[in-house]
Amino acid sequence: MFHGSGLFALLLMVLEWTRPGLSSPLRPICDLRVLDLYIKEAWDAEAAIRACKDDCSSATNFTVPLTSVDFDVWEAMNIEEQAQEVQSGIHVLNEAISSLQAFNQTDVIQSHIDATISNIVSIRQVLRSLSIPEYVPPTSGGEDKETQKASSVSELFQIHVNFLRGKVRLLLASAPVCHQGVS
Amino acid sequence: MRKMDGNGLKVVFMLCLAFVTTGGQSFESTVSQLLRDETEDLKCFVDRKKDLTCFWEVEEARNDQYTFMYSFENKKKMPCVVSSRFVLASNKTVFFCKLPKTLFFVALDVQVFRDGRTLYNRSLKAENVFFVDPPRNLTVMSSGKEGQLNVSWLPPLLKHMDDIMIYEVRYAVEGSHMGKVEEKAASTMLVLRDLQSGTRYKVWVRVKLDGVSYKSYWSSWTDPVFADTLPSDMDLLIVLLVLSIGLILFLLSLTVILSHHKFLLKKLWPDIPTPEHKFPGLFTVYKGDFKEWMSQNNGSIWGRSVHVFTEEPPSPVEILSEVSPTSYDTSPREERKPTEEVEESERTDSGLMGGWREPPHANWLMEQLRALQENPESLSQSTLLQSHDTYVALNQNSQHVQEVSERQTDDVFEETLPLQALFTTEGTSSLSASHSDLGSLPQSSGSGRLSSQSSFEDPNHTWPPKGPGYTYMAVADSGISMDYSPMSSSNIAELRKHRIYTNEYKNEIFGNKWPFSSQHVESGY
């Protein structure tokens, strides 16, 4: 029994040290070239889907976030408001793109869809590294006003590109963690 | 009053518009550039304040009514106030509309209507039509290294977009139209390399957004900045050429010196002349002992050195002469010439002859010879000639003499005979007192024969007269010519009375070219 308790204590120490599955403090990723890489891949997907002219998939009516940015309004918002808008938009995009897997599409389109889903996971990790607050679902009964409807897959990926280029990038560029020590 | 208020408002409006546009690049310059670069008829751009403006040009300024409508994200269309401006740089009139609110990352639809009809229709995104200002504070300096220049600048004032700017640097030699371009991303400095040394360069810079998140047109070029590259301190090629030429010259001079080293050594370091070759064996055999060397080479060397040009030993000849001032003074004037000639010629050999005094002239000698013929016994007591000397005797046998002379002329080389002269007898005074050439044998009839004899008789033995067939002559040797004068007995008798000047004349027969180069004459009284 003593040996069992000793092994258990050793296991707890190891788990505490590694902390698997828990949010470990990541090194802040302030280099915007990381996001720029995902934006470029989103461009490629949008171009490929535009080429097939909506014949790639039969899916329609997607709920997508708003992508428009009014700089005057945006700069008047605080970091939490900006973070909430970005996190909710990423959540909505992830659900819309993931819903495409239920439909039949070509292999080329399927590869782009898989890459986009993987990139969204990575962008979430980047936001986490910058200590951006996580997405908080709205209270029950309230609709998210910051959404719109996309009628086609092509439009869906256009929204995806614009959202990453706009709000997500502006949030990462103004992350307080990346500007610490700069007056 | 109302007109003044209207005009005042317009002025204020124009001033405000001018104030707004003076912060960055002016509206007119932007419009002018886009009129050249943008291919769309309806041109739109976003300035540094992130305001979107669309404009279009018109050929003729007419009073048309333009309507400008726009909408974001396919929402409700909204109108925009259209204004007009004359662009001086392009000499064109443009109508433009600046949107009151610009949304990015969203589709924008723009339409222009003229008199109710659609003139232009365009869909665009605002983040793709940025028009950035040119870079600021362009500075070009020498980097301290040859052929390099350091170029630095500041990015245009565009918030949060410094890291997505791409710069283009253009540089050219001053005055040249050929330039090079280098692109640089997200950095505000560049080092230009491989430039010409000691050259003045002109540098420009422009900027645009990288196009990942935001796109833009190329900005206008900055004003040019001039800078000079460092002059080359030492052109390696010139150094190598100079060294190689120097080496070649050195090798050439060395070759010349080595090929002529003997000549140069002789000139710069001449050998000290030694008389060793004149004294064979003195230094090699006798080790410098001159006395011993002399004893071994008893005078033969001297004789040889003196008579180097002779081909046979000289024969001593005694020359009889008489010093007779009175007879000399009474001599005819015309005979003075040969006498003077004799004197002059004899003076040149005074060193050898030991002071030849007034030799007898021709007439006087002729008389002496006649006297001698008459009284040949008087010569028996003559001590003029030494027994061992060669004396000259004249033979009156003209025929024989002539034959001899002819034969001698033909056969005998003149230098082999010590003395030969032909004289005429019977009172002819053809005896020439001076013979410029010893070897001359004038062919004249009735000439006497001259023979030389060398006798080795007892010194006390007097000179026996040869008889009436022999004539004694006096020979005057001037060193240049020899004068032969017949001697008479009276003359000989007088010679006995006065001081007798006898010369042991060792005749040295030289070539025709050099009749009397060296003569050894002994004088005695």
- Give pLDDT, residue B427: 41
Q: How confident is the model at residue B14 (pLDDT cuts 50, 70, 90)?
A: low
pLDDT in tens, B62-92: 777 899 999 998 788 999 999 988 888 778 8
SS3 assignment for B10-30: HHHHHHHHHHHHCCCCCHHHH
**Between these two residues, B385 and A37, which has the higher pLDDT value?**
A37
Gap from A165 CA to chain B (nearest CA, Å)? 5
The mean predicted confidence, pLDDT, of chain B is 69
CB atoms near residue A86 (< 10 Å): 25
* Mean pLDDT computed over B169-181: 91
* Mean pLDDT computed over B209-232: 91
Q: Which residue of A70, A148, A173 is in closest CB contact with B103? A: A70
**Between these two residues, B161 and B217, which has the higher pLDDT value?**
B217
C-beta atoms of B73 and A148 within 8 A: yes
From the list A12, A74, A78, A67, the residue with the least C-alpha distance to A39 is A67
**Between these two residues, B292 and B21, which has the higher pLDDT value?**
B292
Residue B144 has pLDDT above 70, yes or no: yes
Residue B267 has pLDDT above 80, yes or no: yes
- Give pLDDT, residue A15: 72
Q: How confident is the model at residue B472 (pLDDT cuts 50, 70, 90)?
A: low
C-beta atoms of B212 and A167 within 8 A: no
Residue A37 has pLDDT above 60, yes or no: yes
From the list A86, A57, A54, A100, the residue with the least C-alpha distance to A165 is A86
C-beta atoms of B213 and A71 within 8 A: no
C-beta atoms of A40 and B127 within 8 A: no
Query: What is the radius of gyration, based on Cα positions, of chain B?
Result: 67
Interchain contact A163–B (C-beta under 8 A): yes
* Mean pLDDT computed over A34-50: 92
Gap from A118 CA to chain B (nearest CA, Å)? 20
Reading the block at residue A151, the tokens are: 């009628």
- Tell how strand B130-131 and strand B216-217 pair up: parallel
Interchain contact A18–B (C-beta under 8 A): no
- Give pLDDT, residue B2: 54
Among chain B residues, CA nearest to A167: B105
DSSP assigned state of A114: H
**Between these two residues, B176 and B16, which has the higher pLDDT value?**
B176
- Tell how strand B449-454 and strand B390-395 pair up: antiparallel
C-beta atoms of B103 and A40 within 8 A: no
* Mean pLDDT computed over A148-177: 92
Compute the distance between CA of residue B104 and CA of residue B129 in angstroms, rounded to an integer: 10
Q: How confident is the model at residue B115 (pLDDT cuts 50, 70, 90)?
A: confident
From the list B381, B305, B382, B346, the residue with the least C-alpha distance to B505 is B346
Among chain B residues, CA nearest to A148: B73
**Between these two residues, B331 and B320, which has the higher pLDDT value?**
B320
Cβ–Cβ < 8 Å for B444, B424: yes
pLDDT in tens, B19-55: 444 445 688 888 888 888 888 899 999 988 889 999 9
C-beta atoms of A68 and B160 within 8 A: no
Q: Which residue of B105, B163, B213 is in closest CB contact with A68? A: B105
* Mean pLDDT computed over A68-78: 92
The percent of residues in chain B predicted with pLDDT above 90, rounded, is 25
B81 contact partners, CB below 8 Å, separation of at least 6: B68, B97
* Mean pLDDT computed over B480-501: 54
- Give pLDDT, residue B338: 45
Verdict on whether the full-model pTM lies above 0.90: no
Residue A138 has pLDDT above 90, yes or no: no
Interchain contact A30–B (C-beta under 8 A): no
Backbone angles phi, psi at B66, to 5 degrees: -105, 140
Compute the distance between CA of residue B50 and CA of residue B158 in angstroms, rounded to an integer: 9
Reading the block at residue B279, the tokens are: 């004294």
Q: Which residue of B50, B105, B163 is in closest CB contact with A165? A: B105
Q: Which residue of B101, B102, B212 is in closest CB contact with A39? A: B212
Q: Which residue of B101, B104, B164 is in closest CB contact with A166? A: B104
Residue B454 has pLDDT above 90, yes or no: no
* Mean pLDDT computed over B355-359: 47
Q: Which long-range contacts (CB under 8 A, 24 or more apart) does A23-28 make?
A: A23/A128, A26/A125, A26/A128, A26/A129, A27/A129, A28/A129, A28/A130, A28/A131, A28/A175, A28/A177, A28/A178
B475 contact partners, CB below 8 Å, separation of at least 6: B317, B319, B320, B392, B419, B482, B483, B484, B485, B505
DSSP assigned state of B130: E
C-beta atoms of B101 and A70 within 8 A: yes
Q: Which of A35-44, B200-209, B275-284 has the lowest mean pLDDT?
A: B275-284
Interchain contact A82–B (C-beta under 8 A): no
- Give pLDDT, residue B476: 55
Residue B285 has pLDDT above 60, yes or no: yes
- Give pLDDT, residue B12: 54
Interchain contact B213–A (C-beta under 8 A): yes
